[in-house]
Amino acid sequence: MNDQKTEDRGQKTDTVIACLDLCKTFTLGKQQVPVLKNVNLEVRRGERIAIVGASGSGKSTLLHLLGGLDNASSGKVEILGQDVQAMNEAQRGEVRNRSLGFIYQFHHLLAEFTALENVAMPLRIRGMKRNDAEPRAASMLEQVGLAHRLHHQPSELSGGERQRVAVARALVTEPACVLADEPTGNLDRNSAQSLFDLMQQLNEQLHTSFIVVTHDLELAARMPRRMRLVDGQLDNETR
């Protein structure tokens, strides 16, 4: 994929992620189980969106499709104007690495690496040299309040600190959008509030969009735009 063309196309649109008539059906034995039905969504640069819904409603499935991690049964997903459904896996991986960041309920940090090395990993995957990647990673860790934890491994960090490392890793490439799947699910209330405050701060500083899937209605209420997934369809702002 031509990196310059990717960047040029991204600069021509204020829409970072969009999906049109997105459908996803799973096959269980002989049964077809529709999970998403004609979902439409447009996420603009700098937006913060919460998607709520009951357990099993398809929130994570939607996030995976928006991030190009899975194929839709039908419909279209565009990241910075590019149709990810039409790409091969190598091309999708390139777009994900350059345009998106991911945060999960479980931090998915590599246990054998330090916080600094974990955060530098997406840059190293891009081919950036260690001497260039690690200063950028250190700067990002400083922004999330972990300048004093650079050389600690995940096992030496608290749950809240591990999630902050995961946030730093998601943002170190300066992505257009971060996709967060229950990012506070394993945190206590104070840590969850702190993490949401951090995401809001970084959203304002970096103008990165956030799509946050959460079951926590109190935290979702703090997001400027809220949507609910019900019976496979995405409704507008929840009441």
Read off the pLDDT of residues 11-24 as tens digits, 9 standing for 90 and up. 455 889 999 999 99
Domain ranges across the chain: 3-235
Nearest Cα to Cα of residue 229 among 77, 62, 20: 62
Q: Are strands 74-79 and 225-230 parallel, antiparallel or unpaired?
A: unpaired
Residue indicated by tokens 């970072």: 16
CA neighbor of 202 nearest in space, from 180, 218, 187, 181: 180
pLDDT band at residue 159, thresholds of 50, 70 and 90? confident
The neighbouring-strand residues paired with 39 are: 22
CB 141 within 8 A of CB 115: yes
Per-residue pLDDT at 207 exceeds 90? no
Q: How does 168-198 read in b/e, with b if 16+ C-beta sit within 10 Å?
A: bbbbbbebbbbbbbbbbebbeeebbebbbeb
What is the pLDDT averaged over residues 103-114? 83
**pTM greater than 0.85 (yes/no):** no
User: Average pLDDT in the 23-33 region?
Assistant: 86
* 98 vs 39 pLDDT, higher one: 39
Q: Which two tokens stand for residue 201?
A: 């701060």
CATH number of 3-235: 3.40.50.300
Task: Please choose, from the candidates 166, 181, 178, the residue with its C-alpha nearest in 3D space to the C-alpha of residue 43.
Answer: 178
Q: In which band, very low, low, confident or very high, does the pLDDT at 117 lie, cut at 50, 70 and 90? A: very high
